[in-house]
Amino acid sequence: MARKDDIRDQPAYTLAEAARYLKVAPATLRSWVIGRPYPTGKGPAHFKPLIRPASNPPPMLSFWNLIEAHVLRSLRTDHGVKMDALRRAIQYAQQTLDVDRLLLSPELRTDAGKLLLTRYGALIELSASGQMAMRRMFNEHLARVEWDSWHFPVKLYPATAETLTAARPIAIDAQVAFGRPIIAKRGITTGAIADRIDSGETVDELAADYELSVEEIEEAVLYERAA
């Protein structure tokens, strides 16, 4: 059972940092965390947020919030998150299966995930082929999360869409480097590697220095500088 003072549930990331690490548009992540206004015939209304930040205001996200946003990103990648439909799908799955904080649950890989996606796909009127593609992408994103024996996320292997099915050299672990992205093999932050490249050092020099492959150094730089 997770403690209330678990470092994974403590404020660690600004919205801008989390958006950069997850490769999500800052405005999109903000809408998931803060909610957003929308017009109605009776005047402006407001979509409630999908993620409850670790602290607010200002909104600061925890490592577990990062996982929740990663799961939401998997639905956004090819299909675009419709907040009201997704919120209703999450509520339905949680109430039906009695799963608290569904977006953090490893059960998303089994019945809970199937129920969520089926409900969401029906609410946005997604075709059968579209639902199949959504499930495939969703499962590939979930495979990039590691859970501990208590069924709480402990590590995230972030990726851009272009590297989703590639190797997983980059990791985010709340226990290492204050939760900043690292090369998993050595615990060196991707930011430090990108800074050294920008200072004039070569990929070969850094690979030799850290005892990493050229490809791992390049992955770190590409991840750090990806839009």
Domain boundaries, the chain: 1-143, 153-227
Question: 67 falls in which pLDDT band (50, 70, 90)?
Answer: very high
Tokens of 42: 């009776």
pLDDT in tens, 118-164: 999 999 999 999 889 889 889 888 999 999 887 889 999 997 545 54
**What is the C-alpha to C-alpha distance for residues 107 and 76, in angstroms, rounded to an integer?**
20
- List strands edge to edge, sheet with 188-189: 170-171, 182-183, 188-189
Whole-structure pTM over 0.75, yes or no? Answer: yes
CATH number, domain 153-227: 1.10.10
